[in-house]
Amino acid sequence: MATKYGGYTGKVIKIDLTTQKVEEYPINDRDRRLFLGGKVLAARIINDFVKGPMDPLSPENPLVITNCPLTGTMAPCSSRFNISAISPLTGILTSSNCGGNFGMKLKSAGYDAAIIVGKSEKLTYVEILEDQISFKDAEFLKGKTTGETQELLGNKRLGKMVIGPAGENLVRYACVVSEERAAGRGGMGAVMGSKNLKAVVADGKFKIPIYNTDKFAKLRKSWTQYLTKHPITGEQLPRLGTAALLASMQQKHILATKNFSAGQFDEFRSISGEELAEKHLVKNKGCITCPIQCGRVCEVDGKQVKGPEVEALGLLGANIMNSDLESIIKWNYELDELGMDVISAAGTLAFAMELNEKGMWNSGVEFGKIDNISQVFHDIAHRSTQEADQMANGSRFLSQKYGGEEFCMNAKGMEFAAYEPRGAIGQGLGYAVGNRGGCHLNAGYMVVLEGLGLTINPYTTHGKAQLSIFLQNVMEAASAGGSCLFTTYAVFPGFLYSKPNSFVTRLVNKVFPYLGPVIGLVNRWPGLLQVNISAMVPHAAMIKYATGMRMNIGEFLKFGSRGFNLERSINARLGIDSKDDKLPKRLVEDLQIPDNPKSRVPLEKLRKQFYRARGWDKNGSIKKRTLKYYRIREKDLDVIAERPLEIQGEIKVIPPKPKKEKKVKEKAKKEV
């Protein structure tokens, strides 16, 4: 459907793999104005499909690939796209954000989003070009790794999103890969595998319209300069990547160690960002439009590959009692090639190790023993042993079968990131109430304020609920607009990071938690904040100049809060309420530091504060007045009947051609 806004192509398609029909999906300008793009627009679309609990591996589960208004505009750090579906790992709505080039190529093909439903009879890949969509035989790609698959698909111009063996074998935390970037969390690769969809490729020459090209170009230049001068995005991330955080995590008792039984690892230096940079870094690398270039390039068996992020270093290092950095670099690469989420794979591994240690299940893996881990990951991806087959379902499944729920480190079925929340209780709250489960980003990433950026009191409950909500809203809105979440680090002035001992920084850290009531007012009614500080929060202005929408910081935060509430409403339909906003007993009952009575997460108190500050009731349900404020109409929460009409004469749909595909298959075999 045509749009009056810049930044969009104005077209969303629905692809049915069962019938091989393509339909236009009616997203209008009201949807764009309220839900913007990315994960928030995806929630708006998925809302149409979810009547109640559904089997995530069924053909009915919609796989929704969404772009954002800034995608493809060359705004800094904007080469992002989103994949959303009902998660095979958690059973609730999950979104997964990704770099790589696929989002930009899908948009250049003329599409803001693609909705994929149904199931192909045999392994298939879909090619999306301008005015032409083809269903192609992918049997020649069966069993191939993500790297091999992208290579065999050829044509370097194409944007590609692919799965590896883990996705084909329905590992519940299988990821989707584009170039070397992964849409990691929640098992989107398994959703593709359940549909017999090996890959989606896209390309085109659609030119994205910009509402105000002069102001957009000027802000793009100044924002890029700001990011390159900020001490986090311009110095720390380029120099050490996210691995820079590991030393601070150790110091602040935030480094998950031995399945989150502790917050410090004695041998942390051997797996630190400094060690990685000094002994293993080949060069920096990053996404196409990114001035930060935080990615690491390392060598594995003489081949240059993507290096590990802090999550891999922590979870494949301290959390399984491993101090061998070379093994982590190798496993990180192998997991990407197999198509498995590093965080959930590592979290499941650590839980299996503790089950083994406690004599509850002979899993075949042990803390500190690393010689068999590569084989274990390979076996999980192929479900080739009984133990691996069970680990392929995630840690919550193992706890339900063998016990150990009190030390199974997940929320809503999703394994935690590498941050031990007893050293940062606001992060613990975020894990518990996050819409996609134990995710550090959807949680609001409070740990950045509690020790990894600012150093506000990590144990106080003052202001933590309000600050969590504020950061959740900022990150949801930035993601919906199309910006990498690392750009939100630079929302706080650089001197707060570079001069931690200055009087102003110490004052901010001391006072910040007590501003909860003020921050809470902004959270509940963000529309009151009718200002635009483009020097610190350029996201809003960038969206304004790209689209022509009325936009300021208040409206920007409103996008984020609307998205968070909409996701919660969908999850409520899937059975989520206050009983699910919980943490394992280890984190809420056991002290991390024996002589510190505050070193556990006071979740019940924090959760009550969060519900009240969000405008939810005591059961975690959204109040009607909150829905009304965010213009989420109650009728929008009712399932809308099947609305799309098949496109007439706009898109040429090409089904598989067996003879032609056979030649392609034979050619591919020769290349291999």
CA 462/CA 478 separation, integer angstroms:
26
Query: CA angle at residue 551 from 548 to 555, to 5 degrees?
Result: 145
CA 403/CA 201 separation, integer angstroms:
42
Question: Is the domain 12-209+644-671 a CATH 3.40.50.300 member?
Answer: no
Q: Is 550 exposed, middle or buried (0-12, 13-18, 19+ CB in 10 A)?
A: exposed
- The CATH code for residues 421-636 is 1.10.599.10
CA 470/CA 603 separation, integer angstroms:
18
Backbone dihedral region of 413: left (phi > 0), alpha (psi from -120 to 50 degrees) or beta? Answer: left
CA 96/CA 427 separation, integer angstroms:
19
pLDDT of residue 634: 58
- Residue closest to 655 by CA, chosen among 17, 196, 13: 17
Residues of the chain with CATH 1.10.569.10: 217-415
pLDDT of residue 100: 87
Contact residues for 304 (Cβ-Cβ < 8 A; gap 6+): 282, 297, 298
pLDDT of residue 654: 61
Contact residues for 126 (Cβ-Cβ < 8 A; gap 6+): 15, 17, 116, 133, 134, 135, 136, 197, 199, 200, 201
CA 46/CA 23 separation, integer angstroms:
16
Q: Which residues, in sequence order, are bridge partners of residue 85? A: 94
- Please state, as a whole number, how many other Cβ atoms lie within 10 Å of the Cβ of residue 21: 14
Residues of the chain with CATH 1.10.599.10: 421-636
Please say whether the beta carbons of 483 and 539 come within 8 A: yes
DSSP state of 272: S
pLDDT of residue 279: 94
What is the side-by-side order of every strand in the sheet holding 303-306?
283-285, 295-300, 303-306
pLDDT of residue 536: 66
CA 244/CA 275 separation, integer angstroms:
10
Please say whether the beta carbons of 123 and 101 come within 8 A: no
- DSSP letter string, 459-483: T--TTHHHHHHHHHHHHHHHHHHT-
Q: Which CATH class is domain 217-415?
A: mainly alpha
Amino acid occupying residue 420: E
CA atoms within 13 A on the CB side of 261: 11
Contact residues for 641 (Cβ-Cβ < 8 A; gap 6+): none
Please say whether the beta carbons of 482 and 69 come within 8 A: yes
Going from the first residue of the chain to its last (672 residues), give the mean pLDDT of each consecutive group of 10, the final group possibly shorter: 91 97 95 95 95 93 97 92 97 94 96 98 96 95 98 94 98 97 95 98 96 95 92 90 94 98 98 95 87 90 94 98 98 98 98 98 97 98 97 98 98 98 98 95 92 93 96 94 88 86 92 91 82 74 94 91 96 94 98 97 97 96 92 58 34 55 46 38
CA 464/CA 609 separation, integer angstroms:
9
3-state SS, 627-650, equals: HHHCCCCHHHHCCCCCCCEECCCC
pLDDT of residue 664: 42
CA distances from 7 to 3, 82, 112, 215, 364 (A): 10, 16, 9, 14, 52
Please say whether the beta carbons of 284 and 214 come within 8 A: no
pLDDT of residue 631: 85
What the block records as the tokens of 562 is 């609307």
pLDDT of residue 156: 87
Q: Which run of H or E residues covers position 198?
A: strand 197-203
